[in-house]
Structure 1
Amino acid sequence: MSDPTPHHVGVTVSDLDRAVDFYTSTFDLDVATEFAVGGEAFADAVAVDGAAAEFAHLVAGGEDGETVVELVAYEPEGEPTADPELNRPGAIHLGLSVDDVEEFYRDLDGDVETLSEPRTTESGTTILFVVDPDGNLIEMLDA
């Protein structure tokens, strides 16, 4: 058996075009590819009857290589998850680092929701949680 290696981080969204706009403009991610998948094998794999999906792979670069952020919009669309709360078992978030979280926060468009202003934790890391249009959480932290 081969050792697993990271491939992508998936984020389910309700409107792919809106999500691509948000992630490219807010986080300066680049669109690498867009595609659609459907058919019986896909529906079986995701355990959703009649499922099809549109995908966009966005690339976040850095000194340690690239991370692919996979945005996916499903048909049929499922029920939205509850309001984002990080202390719920099963809660997930995407983590992205920037040189300066405070500067990133100051440069955010006024309509971008955050959980709070940037905070420096007792570990010395400055963090900020951004909420995407579907309620998914993105943690910004100092590089």
Structure 2
Amino acid sequence: MTDPSAHHFGVTVTDLDRSIEFYRDVLGLDVLSRFSVSGEEFATGVGVEGAAGTFAHLDAGTARVELVEYDPEGDDATGGTINQPGAKHLGLEVDDLDATCEALPDDIESLSEPQTTETGTRILFVRDPDDNLIELLEP
């Protein structure tokens, strides 16, 4: 294998426009591009018969966050706890976790107040509009 590097981290959403507003307006990620993909090759590639996707790529520094709204929509795979096998989350580094926490709108659900782990990293888990977990961390 050649030297892999992170290109994007995909997050499946139910409403692309609503999710773009959250990731752009609440988390501060810039939208790099929006596009749609469909056709037999795409459906075969993602393993979903007749699949089409509407995408947005957002700038997360060294990689992109890829938001995708699929048609047809699959079963809900969100809302669980972080320790469930197969659970996933998106980790975004911030400079000042307390300031970031204070700036979050009141309707943003978090799992707790900011915490400092035994490694010294400060963490705060929040949920996006589709209940996907996002870890905001200050190393």
Q: Please indicate the TM-score interval, normalised by the length of the shorter structure.
A: over 0.9
**Residue deviations 1:106-126, cap 9 Å, x none?**
111001111111111111111
1:122 aligned residue (105, 113, 118): 118
Distance in 2 (alpha carbons) for counterparts of 1:126 and 1:2: 34
Q: CA deviation at 1:82?
A: 4.5
Give the equivalent residue in structure 2 for 1:74. 70
Distance in 2 (alpha carbons) for counterparts of 1:58 and 1:23: 8
| Structure 2 unmatched ranges of 5 or more | none
For the residue of structure 2 that corresponds to 1:9, the secondary structure is strand
TM-score, scaled relative to structure 1: 0.93
**Residue deviations 1:34-68, cap 9 Å, x none?**
0000000000011111000000000022xxxx220
Instruction: Check the 8 A contact 2:78/2:130 in 1, yes or no.
Output: no
User: Number of matched residues?
Assistant: 139
Instruction: Check the 8 A contact 2:116/2:123 in 1, yes or no.
Output: yes
Distance in 1 (alpha carbons) for counterparts of 2:46 and 2:108: 31
Give the equivalent residue in structure 1 for 2:49. 49
Q: How does 1:54-69 map to 2 (within 5 A)?
A: 54-61=54-61, 66-69=62-65
% identical equivalent positions: 56
Query: Once superposed, what is the RMSD of the aligned Cα atoms?
Result: 1.0
1:90 aligned residue (78, 86, 92): 86
1:131 aligns with 2:99: no
Greater Cα offset, 49-58 or 89-98: 89-98
Q: CA deviation at 1:84?
A: 2.7
**Residue deviations 1:4-38, cap 9 Å, x none?**
22110000000000000000011100000000000
| Structure 1 unmatched ranges of 5 or more | none
